[in-house]
Chains A and B, each alone.
Chain A
Amino acid sequence: MSTPTQVYEPFRAGLPPLRKYWKSLWSRRTFISEYSRSELREQHFDSVFGQLWLVLNPLLLSAVYFLLIVIISGSSDSTRYAHLTATLFLFYLVANSLTGGVKSITAGQRLILNTAFPRIMLPVSAVVIAIFKFLPTLAVFLAIRTVLGLPFAWEMFWAIPVLLITMLLALGLAVTISCINVYFRDIASFLPYMTRTLLYLSPILYEASDLKPELRTLELFNPLFPILDSWSRALVHGQAPLTSHLLISLGWAVGIFLIGTYFFLSREREFAVRL
């Protein structure tokens, strides 16, 4: 007799065969992109502006926060505004991954209970949606930057590795929080306050260099701190980011991704029972 294609045995917390898992996830990549696209389209389905909101949202957001800065600090210059928009848009890539990811498993109940597929697909598509939302904002930022007349420099290409690190971090966070939400639903209600706190702890409304020395310890506990500072240095100031910042943020991203994915993969077979 031939060997079985699938064997199902009682659940034990442990990793599934990773190669097989990856293959089955990779074979569903079209589904991931189609699923994400349809979710994205649904979000603005009924509105007059429709997909235009993908550009309107970041513009309005940056305008509101700019107003806040001008009121608080009394005055502002173009670099400041560029810094605000650049970092705010990247921050929202992470924040959207978190808000989309947190309920991705619990909201995918129908899919989970009726089809067998690698469950990590759901938080992955939450991150894909966040990336789809981020790309137009990047174009908006480049337009703003040109209008403000900031000089272009080769060092701006440092933004690419920074962006890749951010995506890995966003993926790790989405996977982790979606898994936590299966066991502890209250996390979804805490999340808005967590992201808001993270927003104020990150160098967005201020620049990293403005921070008082006694508050610099904040850097150590916030993975977004080195990322946003590197992003701003590269895209706004046209400087190479600090090597230490790049390494620290890479460490955070890889660490969170590995821990979160391990946690998720070793638990995912149990999700159907927990929903």
Chain B
Amino acid sequence: MPSVSSSHKTNEVAVSVRGLGLTYTTAIDRRPTLKARVKSLGRGGKQTRVIRALDEVNLDVEYGQVLGIIGTNGAGKSSLMRVISGILPPTQGRIEVYGSVSTLLALGVGFNPSMSGRDNVYLGGLAAGMSRDEIDNHFEEIAEFSELGEAIDAPMRTYSSGMYARLAFSVSATVRPDILIVDEALSTGDARFKEKSLNRIKELRSDDRALILVSHAMATLEEVCNDVAWLHKGKLVQRGDPKTVITAYREFLQVGKSAAIDEDV
């Protein structure tokens, strides 16, 4: 397996988040005209609005844990993932990461649509931090998992969106980091491929790995995770046993256990 670093024991801390705060500053020029710019120059600076994406979040993730993150749109889930993976700097607080992190925040990062699927396996794999040898060794596995057949040598812009997503998921699922962060990427392809990728995530669960999954698919999270954290408007509302937290979240949403929230991804 690629990227296996020193082994980590269960219950050792993988990620420690302390007092994390994150604010974005956005300009609120409704109509960015030159006149408005000139006027604001005189006043000194543009009018801005500060958005608090994360507020005093404390969160520990241990090895062996599969943590699901839930919350409504704009709750700060993706921001939290980006801060943990080192993409966004925090505004306050401190994050410590013990181990190699791989992120699956969006599918097909680093892909170039003009190139063939084969070339993109290399591009995407290298972007995800694999070495060329590792990709060579896993190429057959990736190609097979994506079920693309001969289309692997066709340019990716000729792919359907399902084919594109399948190949992207297959590449990402080959990386074997200590800590894997997945943001709503389980919803690729048709029902059969969804099942397949869910099984792949389950395979990745192990005692010496920490998984953090962001998803709106409650049924999936209940099935896969052994811990769930609920974020709302940048604050950590509740954390603990998946059933309890998800039930509380459902009550909060007042939607009950409807089919839409279970199946939606």
A interface residues (Cβ-Cβ under 8 A, vs B):
1-2, 4-11, 28, 30-31, 34-35, 38-39, 41-42, 45, 110-117, 269-270, 272-273
Instruction: Give the complex CA separation of A11 and B132 in angstroms.
Output: 33
The answer to whether the Cβ of B228 comes within 8 Å of any Cβ in the partner chain is: no
Kindly report which residue of chain A lies nearest to residue B6, judged by CB atoms: A2
| A6–B96 touching, CB < 8 Å | yes
Closest to A31 in B: B126
For A1, list chain B residues within 8 Å (CB): 12-13, 98
CB-CB < 8 A to A272: which residues of B?
82, 87-89
CB distance from A113 to the nearest CB of B (A): 6
Q: Does B91 contact A (CB under 8 A)?
A: yes
What A residues does B12 contact at CB under 8 A?
A: 1-2
B127 CB–A CB distance under 8 Å: yes
Question: Which of A10, A115, A117 has a CB less than 8 Å from the CB of B92?
Answer: A10
Residue interface mask B213-236, A partner, CB < 8 A = 1? 000000000000000000000000
7 cross-chain pairs, A with B, having the tightest CB-CB distances, nearest first: A11-B89, A31-B126, A4-B96, A6-B97, A116-B86, A8-B95, A114-B105
Task: Find out whether the CB atom of A110 lies under 8 angstroms from the CB atom of B115.
Answer: no
Interface pair A28/B103, CB less than 8 Å apart: no
Size bin of chain B's contact surface: 35 or more
* CB pair B89 A5 closer than 8 Å: no
- Neighbour of B109 across the interface among A34, A41, A110, A273, CB < 8 A: A110
Pair B24/A273 contact, Cβ less than 8 Å: yes
A111 and B109 contacting across the interface, CB-CB below 8 Å: yes
Bound form: Cα–Cα A4–B115 in Å: 38
What's the Cα separation between A1 and B62 when bound, in Å?
13
C-alpha gap A10/B19 in the complex (Å)? 11
Q: Is the CB of B112 within 8 A of A114?
A: no
Q: Is the CB of B13 within 8 A of A6?
A: no
Q: Does B85 lie at the interface of the complex (its beta carbon under 8 Å from any beta carbon of A)?
A: yes
CB of A38 within 8 A of CB of B103, answer no
Report whether A42 and B103 are in contact in the complex, using a CB–CB cutoff of 8 Å: no
Closest A residue by C-beta to B122: A34
Count, A-B residue pairs, CB within 8 A: 110
Interface residues in B72-119 by Cβ distance below 8 A to A read 82-101, 103, 105-106, 109-110, 112, 114-115, 119
Q: Which residue of chain B lies nearest to A116 when distances are taken between CB atoms in the complex?
A: B86
A270 to B91, CA, bound (A): 11
Evaluate whether A34 and B123 lie within 8 angstroms (CB atoms) in the complex, with A4-B98, A116-B103 already known. Answer: yes
Q: A1-B13, A30-B131, A30-B132 are in contact. Are A35 and B88 (CB under 8 A)?
A: no
Q: Assuming A6-B86, A114-B105, A116-B87, is B97 touching A35 (CB within 8 A)?
A: no
B151 touches A (CB below 8 Å) = no
Query: Could you tell me if B127 and A8 are in contact, using CB atoms closer than 8 angstroms?
Result: no
Q: How far is the CB of A214 from chain B (nearest CB, A)?
A: 39
Complex Cα distance, B99 from A6, in Å, reads 8
Provide the residues of chain A in CB contact with B123, threshold 8 Å.
Answer: 31, 34-35, 38
> Which of B16, B24, B129 has the most chain A CB within a 10 Å cutoff?
B129
Q: Kindly state whether residue B201 has any CB partner on chain A within 8 Å.
A: no
The CA-CA distance from A110 to B87 in the complex, in Å, is 12
Given A114-B87, A272-B87, A273-B88: A6 touches B122 (CB 8 Å cut-off): no
Nearest residue (CB) in A for B104 is A114
Distance, CA A39 to CA B100, complexed state (A):
29
Distance in angstroms between the alpha carbons of A145 and B123 in the assembled complex? 39
Least CB distance from A9 to B in Å reads 5
**CA A112 – CA B85 in complex, angstroms?**
12
Determine whether the beta carbon of B122 is less than 8 Å from that of A8: no
**In the complex, what residues of B have CB within 8 A of residue A30's CB?**
126, 131-132
B173 within 8 A of A: no
Report the minimal beta-carbon distance from A266 to chain B, rounded to whole angstroms: 12
The one of A7, A35, A270 that contacts B96, using a Cβ cutoff of 8 Å? A7
Which of A11, A110, A273 contacts B106, CB < 8 Å?
A110
- Give the residues from 48 to 90 in chain B that come closer than 8 angstroms, CB to CB, to chain A: 82-90
**How far is it, in angstroms, between the C-alpha of A2 and the C-alpha of B109 when the chains are bound?**
32
Residues from chain B with Cβ under 8 Å of A117 in the complex: 127, 129
Q: List 17 A-B contacts (CB under 8 A).
A: A1-B13, A2-B12, A2-B98, A6-B86, A6-B96, A8-B83, A8-B84, A10-B91, A10-B92, A34-B123, A35-B127, A113-B82, A113-B106, A114-B87, A114-B103, A269-B89, A270-B89
